[in-house]
Amino acid sequence: MKIKKGDQVKMLSGKDKNKEGKVLNVLPSTNKIVVEGLNLLKKHQRAKKQGEKGQVVEVPRAVAAAKTMLICSACNKPTRVGFRSNEAGRKVRICKKCNQEN
Ligand SMILES: [Zn+2]
């Protein structure tokens, strides 16, 4: 996965197109991510106890990672990412715009 938890991403399509949010969760098996405040689904929660009111809560639903673009933390632009090995031989993610490790 190119996108990690905690990343800032921008939606490229759908009803939340061009909106940005923080990645809360990554689901590698389905190539999906959950982004804070995006692709919200209204969920009706029933009262669990007597006397308590049922309520509507909004929860973010997973979106396809391919429909989002990472926002580079170095240059602050939506960008594609690449990978390269650093001095220690570890694979690091880089921004294709500014070439900074990300
Ligand atoms: Zn960058």
Report which secondary-structure segment, H or E, holds 81: strand 81-85
Rounded Cα–Cα distance for residues 43 and 49 (Å): 18
Average pLDDT over residues 90-100: 94
| pLDDT tens per residue, range 5-53 | 999 999 999 889 999 999 999 999 999 999 999 999 999 988 888 888 8
The residues with which 10 forms a beta bridge, in sequence order, are 20, 69
Rounded Cα–Cα distance for residues 81 and 67 (Å): 14
How remote is the CA of residue 93 from the centroid of ligand 1, in Å?
11
The pairing of beta strand 8-11 with beta strand 68-71:
antiparallel
The secondary structure of 22-40 as a DSSP string is: EEEEEETTTTEEEETTSSE
How remote is the CA of residue 78 from the centroid of ligand 1, in Å?
8
The answer as to CATH 2.30.30.30 being correct for domain 1-70 is: yes
Return the domain boundaries, the chain: 1-70, 72-102
pLDDT score at 79? 96
How remote is the CA of residue 49 from the centroid of ligand 1, in Å?
50
pLDDT score at 45? 86
Q: Which of the four pLDDT bands, split at 50, 70 and 90, describes residue 60?
A: very high
How remote is the CA of residue 2 from the centroid of ligand 1, in Å?
14
How remote is the CA of residue 32 from the centroid of ligand 1, in Å?
23
